[in-house]
């Protein structure tokens, strides 16, 4: 892809400005680009690559790379969160049931 103004091929995908532009361009399979040579921002046909087509996973959001990326799939992360929530609930139930947080009651030794 070349810049329509200076014909440079040093163009980068630009961030879509707001949901309106994002949606309108997405429907037309277009995307904003910026020329790094002259700074021109222009809209062109979206270059469909495997990278841009693939939905972002949690690992992508976390910026994980390599082995962590392979191990921490969405299923693993969701499973881990679910397990953590269940653990917290179980701990809470125990704490509430046996008063683990409350300070030991004193003053009844004399009974």
Residue with Cβ nearer Zn ion (37 or 77): 37
Q: How far is CA 75 from CA 3, 62, 69, in A?
A: 41, 15, 12
How near is the Cβ of 47 to Zn ion at its closest, in Å? 17
Residue with Cβ nearer Zn ion (24 or 38): 38
The contact set with Zn ion (CB under 5 A) reads: 3, 5-6, 8, 35, 37-38, 40
Residue with Cβ nearer Zn ion (31 or 59): 31
Q: Are 11 and 1 in contact (CB under 8 A)?
A: yes
How near is the Cβ of 32 to Zn ion at its closest, in Å? 14
């Amino acid at each position: 892809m070349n810049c329509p103004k200076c014909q440079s091929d040093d163009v980068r995908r630009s961030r879509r400005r707001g949901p309106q532009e994002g949606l309108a361009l997405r429907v037309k399979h277009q995307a904003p680009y910026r020329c790094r040579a002259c700074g021109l921002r222009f809209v062109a046909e979206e270059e469909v690559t495997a990278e841009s087509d693939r939905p972002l996973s949690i690992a992508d959001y976390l910026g994980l790379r390599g082995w962590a990326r392979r191990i921490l799939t969405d299923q693993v992360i969701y499973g881990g969160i679910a397990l953590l929530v269940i653990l917290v609930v179980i701990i809470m139930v125990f704490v509430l049931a046996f008063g683990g947080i409350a300070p030991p009651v004193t003053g009844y030794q004399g009974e």
